[in-house]
Structure 1
Amino acid sequence: MQFAIVDIETTGGFPSQHGITEIGIVLHNGTEIEGKYETLVNPHQPIPPFVVNMTGITDAMVAVAPSFGEVAPYIYNLLKGRIFVAHNVNFDYSFVKHHLQEAGFHLHTPKLCTIRLSRKVFPGFRKYGLGHLCRELGITIENRHRASGDAMATTEVLDMVLRNNGGMVIKEMLKKENRSQLLPANLPEEYVKDLPDCPGVYYFHDAKGKVIYVGKAKNIKKRVVSHFTGLDISQKRQDFLRSIYSITHSKCPTEFIACLLESVEIKRLWPIHNKSQKRYEQLWGIYMFEDNRGYHRLAIDKKRKYSTPVASFALLVDAHRTLWKMVREFELHPVLCFLDNTGAREFPDVALYNENVMKALGWMDAQKETFLIRDKESCVLVEEGKFYGMGRLSPDADLSLIENIKAQLTEYPENEVIRSMIRNYAEKFPGKVVKWAVGS
């Protein structure tokens, strides 16, 4: 196995925005060092003060150094055909690959992360950062936080791995089907290894255990791994990957149940890296009131906290569509429903009109069906038009009373996303809908 052990210093953490200030490469044939290369690099952007303090590399030092494009051909020739090794390899590899690509070179080499490798060969250490690991292994780092010093320290780690029968571990990690190299540096492989191949909801946690992302999946393991594939070098993605320290999950009987649970959990936990479903839901309602002439009036208005509409809608257009339907089918007056602003000289008899309004409201109440969505052992209950909850029903469950069903389900809060999903699912799969007469 031919290795290229790499370490870089940069102006920041994101390849698309920041530059390389120094690169160190150690060539290793699996037995001994074959060669070394190091150079300062002019990033053509200021080096932040905190980086200067950490590395000792100043703007004056890199001002006379070659740009990355000038040394790219030589670096590419050193790396091609070798296994790219680094401590937290995805960071170094993403920078080198990005800047090589900008110089016209496309790097495609196997990667090997000495953090993950050390966790397997030297289990039980409290931390596996380069400084902590070298102290545990008795390795002295010369010129810390400089590319050549850290590259040599990483080489010594690799040497110790090889001397401790780590060759088979390396071969296993380099297998094409082994995806551990893709995982974020702070996420132990065990969290992904133990994930099930079934529908459910998964949670990414930060270093303090706080949930920072919630997702749903038809296959939990495959979906989680898909988050780590590709080489997205954006700041947003890099921030996201670095903040993942652990994963938990909840199994669900079906993908549909997982979709509903995901929505519930996003609303409950409000994770920082979830963007969808995190917005204020402006609902609309159809309200009834009596005017000074005694007419029962129907009107559309925004749904407010302490008001109770006769019907609620997520979209204003749906509220208008429903009210117009009531006007046509129950002979209501458009002006009295605030749907016609042209005015009217003649109005219907008050008693007769109010009777029609009550018929229309009765029709609307009848639309608030109670039904179950059954799929395998899963059950979703909608009671009088409102999502109640979901769960598993035993095959011999007594369905004669609605309370018997509720006793086996978990009650969840409703939101418009859930209402929409249930409505669409019921329309798409009518054979899975079991309607229930109100009052049964």
Structure 2
Amino acid sequence: MYAILDIETTGGKYNEEGITEIAIYKYDGHEVVDQFISLINPERDIQPFVVNLTGINSSMLRHAPKFYEVAKRIVEITDDCILVAHNASFDYRILSTEFRRLGFEFERKSLCTVELSKYLIPDQPSYSLGKLVRSLGIPVSDRHRASGDALATVKLFKMLIDKDSSKSIIQQSIRLNPKYQLEPRHIDIIAELPSITGVYYIHNTDGDIIYIGKSNNIKKRINQHFTNTNQKSKKIQAQVYTVTYEATGSELVALLKESEEIKRIKPIYNRALRRSIFTHALYSFVDENNYVNLKIDVADGRKKPITTFSNRQSGKSFMVNAVEDYNLCQKLTGLYKTKTSCFNYEIKTCEGACIQKETPELYNKRVEALINKNSYANKNMVIIDKGRDVDERSAILIENGVFKGLGYFNLNYQINNLEILESIITPMQNNRDTQHIIQSYLRKNKRVKIVSID
């Protein structure tokens, strides 16, 4: 659990500043579960430049509570939490100083979003909160007021967790903050999980990830892990200490994250899924009569496929539909072996490419249309899919036919702004599996929005 905060102060000499406003959002890694926002009477003068910056003046604070009146609420909302702030050393020092004046030692673990941003989002022109969130397309209001800045930090931290592909933030919080962990009994773990689309991580008592999976219903899937009687499930049941998860909203995002993180983290119970997840592929070649032929064959890493399939039957079903949708020849797609005309020509649904009655130029145009539809080779595009909230969408970036990564954006921002797009994208590996996952998903989900980019 995290307590994401921002503090406005009077300014002045080091360790003599007073708090004028505080905002704390209690964040469970997925959503805000509690919040505390208040002006505070600092019982001292406010520096003029601070008044100009924040708009908070002494008359506004005359009837505000003093720090000792809100201290108990601050202790309660931050209890068992890791403090998160932009330039955390400043906010933590100010808060600790105020408590020390009351004779109370305030101690919490802390994370700094400036340091995390420099590590996870390198090469930004500025890491000040205002400039950073603007460059990332994060909506922000009430700048230089505690609530606005703290809420912007919540959104930034959410993006940083997305970009933390090694899961070091989550694993560190499990080790350092035991009460954030769920009860080890299976029924308690299941009770805390949501029925949403995402990637889940099964941890042992050291916080290490022993299994990664994805599901459109995480609660239901974990329940299956805990009730299955196969050998692997029994080992997981014996070693599981807690389950964390990452909401993705999009099944495509979940599939891509699951594939990459299994390959990188190599959990001990994901051995089978480290291999390629497809067996067959669609290839093309030009025959002696200059017709482009299509063929479903065993996937060969030495040849570049148009698209790939989980098994031969899936590829054959695709080809049967393609023949109908694009008015292709059964013979030239490998579905009908013959030395003469194909069956469809006999029933007048093939234009006769099988016996050179239709010209290669006319026939090949339809084949190229199919290839172009089912391959993103050399294309620059963004696949837009569901987000984690109603006002959010996911973006999967393809540049020159190469999968670059994924991220999330607010609907108020135009996704065709390439500068913002590249800053929100978490880089990911492009490989044969990611190509298969993306192409398979697009075949099955024809309503997914695709935006071409220059």
Q: TM-score range by the shorter chain?
A: 0.3 to 0.5
Q: With structure 1 as the length reference, what TM-score do the two structures score?
A: 0.42
Which structure has the larger Rg?
1
Q: With structure 2 as the length reference, what TM-score do the two structures score?
A: 0.41
